[in-house]
Amino acid sequence: HVTMDEEYDAVILGTGLKECVLSGLLSVSGKKVLHMDRNNYYGGDCASMYLEQLFGHFDKKDCDLSGYGKSRNWNVDLIPKFLMADGVLVKLLIYTGVTRYLEFKQVDGSYVYKQGKTHKVPGTEAEALSSSLLGLFEKRRFKNLLVYALKYEEKDSSTHEGLDLRSMTMMELYQKYKLDENVRDFVGHAIALYRDDEYLAQPALHTVNRLKLYFNSIAKYLKSPDHD
């Protein structure tokens, strides 16, 4: 029998990502927290499970697992998660100590499927200039946009080159750098990770910040922008 304190500043039920972040924030601010989970594993809906847990989670406890090897050799994410290495969420997870319950894995690369072929999404300026996703002239124009985006600082007008990205749309920024539809698709969906083209009519600042996040994340580990 374990004796527990009777008074806490907060009681948090569940060990999903948001519950762990909240618990960590309260703890590092000096609060006394009781963090509980009714399951026999951490993570809630975002958990990573070994094989017996996985089959039990889906009410398949009676299945024969002998052909799969040792159960604990498996680690299956219920919801695979990709986080930008330089993103706010990763910094928050580190700050709150939630990383004690997580294991990060560097993703080998990002790829897109186009016209029957798989292409690696460029992670550096050199890769962009050699990528088969872009034509010769497109590569130079894309490089110019990338150089501008990476040096852009919202609070430093000397980096704006006379452009107001809060009022200028992303389509207008593309047009300024003479980037065609092929490059727009590549930048908007493979790098900025937009699901549709609505961003084209929105302020360019949002997309420029996404470009910076992508390439700054790559710069941290010089391989891929994502952690899993």
Q: Are 133 and 64 in contact (CB under 8 A)?
A: no
152-158, long-range: CB < 8 A, 24+ apart: 152/208, 152/212, 154/205
Tell me the C-alpha distance between 179 and 173, whole Å.
Answer: 9
Cα-based distances in Å from 94 to 13, 17, 99, 102: 21, 13, 6, 10
| pTM of the predicted structure, to 2 decimals | 0.67
- Residue 67 clears pLDDT 60, i.e. is over it: yes
Q: Are 114 and 102 in contact (CB under 8 A)?
A: no
Q: Are 84 and 213 in contact (CB under 8 A)?
A: yes
Average confidence score pLDDT of the chain: 85
Tell me the C-alpha distance between 217 and 86, whole Å.
Answer: 5
User: Does residue 123 or residue 204 have the better pLDDT?
Assistant: 204
- Residue 1 clears pLDDT 80, i.e. is over it: no
Give the pLDDT confidence score for residue 199 in this predicted structure.
97
206 — pLDDT class (breaks 50, 70, 90): very high
User: Does residue 30 or residue 135 have the better pLDDT?
Assistant: 30
The mean per-residue pLDDT over the stretch 21-47 comes to 87
Give the pLDDT confidence score for residue 101 in this predicted structure.
65
Kindly give, in sequence order, each residue whose CB lies less than 8 Å from that of residue 68, ignoring residues fewer than 6 positions away.
Answer: 51, 74
Q: Are 33 and 8 in contact (CB under 8 A)?
A: yes
The mean per-residue pLDDT over the stretch 124-144 comes to 81
